[in-house]
Structure 1
Amino acid sequence: MNIIFDIDGTLWDSTKVVAAAWARAVREIGGTFAEITPAVLKKEFGKSMDVIADDLFREADSHTKNLLIRQCCKNEQEALEKNTENLLYPGTKETIEQLSKDHRLFIVSNCQSGYIELFLKKSETQRYISDFESFGNTGKSKGENIRLLMERNGLKDAVYIGDTQGDRDAAAAAGIPFVYAAYGFGNVPVDTKKIDSIKEVLELMR
């Protein structure tokens, strides 16, 4: 089976580090009264960056929103690069390593360009991930990016693992099954196949 992962709320939780970086960006750029906290970001992660900007910086004009989100992303990349704390959910690296022995692994996220690469570097999982795609690279929806990645790699079947209703919708749009990471940030109806730990993917794929 080919397995495609979301990142935030599925493989790691970077909201504490990212919230501090974004709050600094708000102070640097101004033009908004937004208060950026980990709790706020957990409600936004999984959406594309332009939607997040509209949600968080409602009173800002389009030019200021663009400046804000660009500074947020810049500060975020720098903060995550410097961070030495382990942001992975327990068992993530070991699970990815084990899964890679029998399955091809991929990542599709609504993040900015460079974020997946940074995740792979910080988590030391580059060798296990066959390919990845993001909103920042293509400007396309998550469902479209899943299909793009599948077509690029000749995948006839796959499963998408994520933590939000948006992830579920993206999998449906791409025509593949979805597994709900119930330990993450989102809230998906209980009729969805779910896992309560990333480690449970190992049993699910047997």
Structure 2
Amino acid sequence: ILADEINRTPPKTQAALLEAMQEYQVTAAGERYTLEKPFFVLATQNPIELEGTYPLPEAQLDRFMFNIVIDYLSAEDELQVALETTTREQASLDTVLSGADILAFQSEIRKVFVPKNVAQFAVDLVRSTRPGRNGTLEFVSNWVSWGAGLRATQYLLLGGKVRAALRGRYNVAIEDIHALSYPVLRHRVLTNFYAESEGITVERVIDQLLNDVPEPKSGLS
């Protein structure tokens, strides 16, 4: 499903989408319908216009693997899009992968090895986002109202497996966790009023976490 400007959908529709994302099923008139796999949701949000929008609850945001910020196009890309969308030619779409192909790739990706020290770093990084714990970093206590949960760790590792495979590696590295920290944590770490009043963004919180959370040793001599 591609949901454009998902924050314009009312809460009842959002709840129905949450069922589909979590349970891979939908309910209509008391009947449940199983969704065929592979099923996933791509959604956009307009970060500027807030009138008439309904913020997504944290439980639904947590179901999205990544939160990717899309900036303006480069000058070259903007020129290409402008030229290609103002002619009489119609774009043609070709099938690249079947559903079975996607499921097969997903199965293969899970075979990529994650060293224990890399998994430990992912766990430590995510746990460090949570305020109110013993040993919480001072800036987290000052700036964060809610930290990331278990899904963040799972998605760091799964995303790391994909990134490693795309780069021809057979194992996940610390650099993969670093690279994926922003899209995985951006929508799972909530800053508090003090941070917002001081202009402290969630990206700055993640910057500081990556700087302060130590990387476990690999155990190799």
Q: Judge same fold: TM > 0.5, yes or no.
A: no
TM-score normalized with structure 1 length = 0.28
Structure (1/2) with the larger strand percentage: 1
Q: Which has the higher contact order (CA 8 A, sep 6+)?
A: 1
